Amino acid sequence: MINRQSHRKDEHVSLAKKFHQPSQAGFADLKFIPNGLPEQAVANIDLKTSLAGHSLSVPFYIEAMTGGSPYTQKLNQQLGQIAKETGLALALGSASVALKDPDSAASFTVARETNPTGMIMGNVGAGVTPAAAQAVVDLVQADALEVHLNVVQELVMPEGDRDFHWATNLQNIINHVSVPVIVKEVGFGLDQDTIRKLHQLGATTVNVGGLGGTNFAQIENFRRKRKEMAYLEDWGLTTVQSLYEAQQVPNIQVVAAGGITNPLEIAKALYLGADAVGIASEILTNLIDNGVADTIQMIQDWIYGLKSIMTALGVRNIAELRNRPVVLNPTLESYLRQRDIHTN
């Protein structure tokens, strides 16, 4: 028998696919200035980066999506296979359910069984105990742990949490677990003040998880009987706005996720300071619609696409990419001016 939590996990996958749409994360608000004489070649492009102390050959990865049911076990097995074949890191969905329901553990452990040597990240909410967080690390043999912040999702979720005293517990998780911690938003973005507070709590890597991709306020509102909380569906900062906010906080590694759907958006996220870029909905939708082999090909196409963009701009690596000029549209310029954010 499938329990209520497992059913909710399947609902989330179904609704994430149902509401999948083109990016609204703000990347159209900036444009690279082209370089007609780039003096560069695709063969020279170096995409290497690091994430939470681990070296990555490609600066994007499969962001947390799912787990907790027989159906999502199949998806995580397939995602593990895709990660293994492409060399991408893989983040799993929130595994707190596996601590409450041991029967669901296999839906998470299947990723490591499928991909024994790749980088795998566990995932828990900011309200779990440090011991539970470490138990998830041990369960999935994680190389890093994502701890997600999802206040608005919980408030809209019919069965969600209603108490959000997380700071001390989050600090204890960071200090307790045996692997690096990545503190991430789930689609509502992070402002600079929150990022500073996270840094003060000991976070060394944050994922801005901006508005513009999978919308958990929309998903959870759809699950409500009256569907009366649609007014929160545009809550938060876009991924682009969040990345500019993060630029104001020194000495913290930044990851981008939220509505990133193609290599050009990846390049723009890297330009804006992200060291790694998480992709969720685009990969999930393609996997369900077209299968494992086609998704592997899509990722390989993206790697070539990212190298092509960098070649066309005349840059060899991410550091050089960040020195290219861009132009911003008036809406983004207005946001930065009102927030007193200064850019080069």
SS3 call for 277: strand
The residue with tokens 């990660």 is 83
Q: Is 9 a known ligand-binding residue?
A: yes
Query: Is 69 one of the annotated binding-site residues?
Result: no
Please indicate if the annotation marks 333 as binding a ligand.
no
- Residue 123 assigned to a binding site: yes
**Gap between the Cα atoms of 338 and 341, Å rounded:** 8
Contact assessment for residue 160 and residue 137, using Cβ atoms and an 8 Å cutoff: no
Distance from C-alpha of 295 to C-alpha of 279, rounded to nearest angstrom:
12
The CA distance from 215 to 196, in Å, is: 25
Q: Is 65 annotated as a binding residue?
A: yes
Q: String of b and e for 204-237 (b: at least 16 CB within 10 Å)?
A: bbbbbbbbbbbbbbbbbbbeeeeeebeebbebbb
Q: Which amino acid is at 112?
A: R
Q: Is 64 annotated as a binding residue?
A: yes
How far is the C-alpha of 113 from the C-alpha of 135, rounded, in Å?
A: 17
Residue 204 is labelled as binding a ligand: no
281 marked ligand binding residue: yes
Rounded Cα distance, 272 and 247, in Å: 8
Q: Looking only at Cα atoms, what is the longest distance across the chain?
A: 63
Q: Is 184 marked within a binding site?
A: yes
Rounded to 5 degrees, φ, ψ at 31 are -135, 135
245 is in an annotated binding site: no
Phi (first) and psi of residue 291, to 5 degrees: 95, 175
Binding residues for substrate: 8-9, 153
Binding residues: 8-9, 64-66, 94, 123, 153-154, 184, 214, 280-281
Binding residues for FMN: 64-66, 94, 123, 184, 214, 280-281
Binding residues for Mg(2+): 154
